[in-house]
Amino acid sequence: MNASTASLLPPGAMPATGTLIDGNWLDSPRRFPVLDKYTGQTIAQVCEATREQVADAIRVASAAARRGAPAPHERARVLRQAAALIESRREHFVQVMAAEAGFTLADANGEVDRAMVTLNLSAEEAVRLVGEMVPFAASPGAEKRLGFTQRFPVGVVCAITPFNSPLNTVLHKVAPAYAAGNAVVLKPSAFTPLTAALLGEVLLAAGMPPAFLAITQGEGDSVGGWLLEEQDIAFYTFTGSTRVGRIIQQAAGLRRTQMELGSIASTIVCEDADLARAIPKIANAGLRKAGQVCTSVQRLYVHRSLAEEVTRRLVDFAATLPAGDPRDPATRVGPLISEQSAIRAETWIREAVDGGARLLCGGRRSGSVIEPAILADAPDGGRVWCQEAFAPMLVLRPFDDFDAALASANDTPFGLSAGVFTQDIDRALKAARTLRFGTVQINETSSARSDVMPFGGVKDSGFGKEGPAYAIREMTEERLVIFNP
C-alpha cells in the first residue's frame, strides 16, 4: 500500500492478494484493482487467476475429493475453530469489509456475527448427515427387505459469490460444502476479493486440508468462464444476477446447481398492521447495506387507510439513517459498490420523478453514496418499480383490495421473498397460499433472514436452498442400499 491508502487498511489487515491452490498463494502477471468504495482509492492490486491456475485448482480439488475428506467429527472441529478464529480477527474483517464492500461498522459486525452462526450450524450438520429407512413392508413380497439411504459428497463444489455479503454468503456455500465432505473452489466477486482471501487464511489456520479449498480471483467473464469449462466440477452454487445464472445453468448441463438470482422484493402492510413494529423493520430492510440485498424491500404496498401515516413515519425514520463514510460510527447507510451503481440509482430516481413519481425524501448522490430515498406514485413501467433497484430506495404504493396487492406482488418474473404485516390469520394464510415466493413472512419484511432457515427462490429468482442443513443435502448424493435376506 502507498501512504495515501495506509489509513484505510492498517498494516496487518491486508489479506493475501493471489490465487490459493493447495495451501499456496500464487501470483500471476495480470492484476486488477480493489477500490475503497467510499473514497474511490485503490487499496490493493489482486492477481487474477490464469487459465492454467484455474485448471490446476480443479485438478488438486478433484484429487482431494477422490481421496476422501476427513471424518465428519474432524470437519466439524475445523468449522468450529474457524468460527472462533473469525471472532478473534473480527476487527480485521470489519476493516476489510468497510473498505472493499462499503459496509458500515454495524453492517460489517453483523456480517461477522452471522458468519460464526453459519459455521457452527454447518459443523452441527457435518456430524448428523444421515439417510433414512425405506418402508419396504408397504410392498407385497418385499416385506423382508431392509433398505436405507446414505448420503455421499458430490466431489468438487464451485462457489461463485456476490459482493453484497462477502463473508456470510460465501460461508453459506463453502461451509456446508466442506461439512458434506466436498472439496471447494471459490470464485468471489472481483469487487470484494480481500474478504474471501482473509476467510481462506482463517480456514487453513483452522485445519481445513489445503487441497480441499481453492480461491480463484478474477472477473466472471474470464475466471468464471474458465470454471464453467471444467468438467470435473460436480456442483455449482451461485448467488448473483439471473442473466449470469442462465449462463451457468446452460454450461452445467446435467451437473447439479443451486441458484439464488434476481429479485424484486415486496412487503404488504394491511390496515390492521402494528406500525410501531412494522416501520423500523421496513426502513431497515429497505435501506440497510445501502439497499444492496436481494431481499431488500423495494415494492411497499400499504393499505390506503394507513398510507399517509406510514409515509410520514418512514420519512421520519429515514432521517435517522445518515448516509456517508462507512467508518463513521454514526453512519447507517454506506456507499454503493461503485460510483457507476450510484449514478444508475440516481438516474432511475430522476426518471421516476420525471414520469410522475413523488420523491418524498433523499435520493441525492455524493460520489458512490445515495441518501435513502422514499418514492410514491411511481409509474407502472418505471424502472424503480419493474427492475431490481439494488439501492437504498423504497417505492410506496397504496392499495384498497388485498387480493389486488397479492396479484401485483406476484406480477414480476421473480419470486425470492415477500413479507406481510397483518393480525388477521385468514389473511395471513391466504398470503402464504397465494404469494409465489420462496419465502413468505408474516409480520416480518421480505428481508428478514435467519441463517438456520431454508432460503431460496422460485421463477427467475432461481432454485435450490441455502441454510446449512438444506445446502448440505443439495451438495450430496443419495444412495439406496437394500438387503434382501
CA distance 297 to 299: 6
Cα radius of gyration rounded to whole Å, the chain: 23
Of 330, 328, 327, 336, the closest CA to residue 371 belongs to: 336
Residues linked to residue 33 through DSSP beta bridges, in sequence order: 45
Of 245, 274, 232, the closest CA to residue 463 belongs to: 245
CB 146 within 8 A of CB 128: no
Residues 6+ apart with CB under 8 A from 324: 38, 331, 333, 334, 366, 369
User: Does the active-site annotation cover 260?
Assistant: yes
Q: Which of 100, 201, 230, 260 is catalytic?
A: 260
Burial class (CB in 10 A: 0-12, 13-18, 19+), 64: buried
Is 363 strand, coil or helix? coil
Burial class (CB in 10 A: 0-12, 13-18, 19+), 109: middle
The C-alpha cell that represents 426 in the structure block: 385468514
CA distance 6 to 9: 6
- Distances, alpha carbon 419 to alpha carbons 14, 299, 442, in Å: 39, 10, 6
User: Does the active-site annotation cover 294?
Assistant: yes
Q: Which of 48, 294, 388, 466 is catalytic?
A: 294
CA distance 200 to 429: 44
CA distance 130 to 400: 50
The C-alpha cell that represents 368 in the structure block: 458512490
CA distance 268 to 195: 35
- Distances, alpha carbon 458 to alpha carbons 125, 242, 255, 431, in Å: 25, 12, 19, 16
CB 481 within 8 A of CB 150: yes
Residues linked to residue 415 through DSSP beta bridges, in sequence order: 458
- Distances, alpha carbon 417 to alpha carbons 168, 280, 299, 407, 465, in Å: 19, 18, 12, 15, 13
The C-alpha cell that represents 277 in the structure block: 413494529
Of 397, 351, 389, the closest CA to residue 370 belongs to: 389
Which residues are tagged catalytic? 260, 294
